[in-house]
Amino acid sequence: MRTEELRHKITLQKLTTSTNENGFEEEVWEDYLTVWAAVSNLYGREYFEAAAVQAEETVKFTIRFIKDINESMMILFRDKQYNITSIDNIKYRNKYMEIKALEVESSG
């Protein structure tokens, strides 16, 4: 992976609980970290495996290694939200991570 391939900005979001003006707790997605990423669609065998479970909207994000990322987070990219489905520390070298995420369908 070359550094110049990380040319897209993505924002990692985490679910937090806050109290609204009426005193009720509500869960909201809060920006956690903005990073540079390489973004690509699935192709070849990966695409057909995703299509078999109707997950064609899966996108692959490659970022520099960050220790505190997990599957409970969400990615914001080009005004679309993506649920993280898997995280791979590439070759366990702690240099890059490959995140597969499924686009969240907009309601309404």
Residue 25 in any domain: the answer is yes
Structure tokens at 10: 């993505």
Residue 108 in any domain: the answer is no
Residue 90 in any domain: the answer is yes
Number of domains into which the chain is organized: 1
Say which CATH number the domain at 64 has: 2.40.10.270
Listed as ranges, residues in the chain with pLDDT below 70 are 1, 42-56, 107-108
**Which residue range is the domain that position 59 belongs to?**
3-103
Question: What pTM, to 2 d.p., does this model score?
Answer: 0.79
Of 86, 99, 88, 87, the closest CA to residue 37 belongs to: 99
Q: N- to C-terminal Cα distance for the chain?
A: 39
Residue 21 in any domain: the answer is yes
